[in-house]
Amino acid sequence: MGWTTPYKSQSPRRQSEELRYFIANFTWSGPELSGGIREGFKVGTTWYLLAELAIAEGGNIALARPYQPNASGRFSFAIVVLTDRIGGEWSYKDIGETAGPCEDQAPPALIKKLSPIADPVGGKHAAEWRDRCIANAPTRHAEATPAGLQYIIPGAEKRQRPSAQQLELLF
């Protein structure tokens, strides 16, 4: 699929507003499934989002494939979102982990929160992507910030919250 470019009036004006955009627009609500984005991590121009869905009571558990839902019918998965800003326009492309995205810099903190893969055939690309992310993890450090937003600062020596000045440099 292609890239999405919202109208300028609906686009985040700063990169710091992007996660709020995804939370507002990546929400599912229906008779069998509901949920949305719970957490986000950003590396460069790529977002790694933690999505959680709940199967309605008595709903079809097959809707969770290839994931294993927990006892309450909830399951979580990753969405990789590429972003770009050109000529004042902001665009994004979202890719589910089951598509086996090329971008594999998701932090272990996100990978650990994902539901187990129950279907080894349907979840093959997701499993491979998770393995690549874990293999790439030692070279990065996640810096925690409020509201579940995480910034990845490559080459950070210490695990400390970035200063306001450092965050401004990122955006």
3-class DSSP state of 9: helix
**Which pLDDT score is estimated for 125?**
96
Rounded to an integer, what is the distance from CA 57 to the centroid of its chain? 26
Q: Is residue 141 pLDDT above 60, yes or no?
A: no
148: left (phi over 0), alpha (psi -120 to 50) or beta: left
Least confident of 5-19, 51-65, 101-115, 135-149: 135-149
Q: What is the pTM of this model?
A: 0.80
Question: What's the pLDDT tens digit per position in 43-102?
Answer: 999 999 999 999 998 888 888 999 999 988 999 999 999 999 988 899 999 999 999 999
Which one has a higher pLDDT value, 15 or 78?
78
pLDDT of residue 156: 38
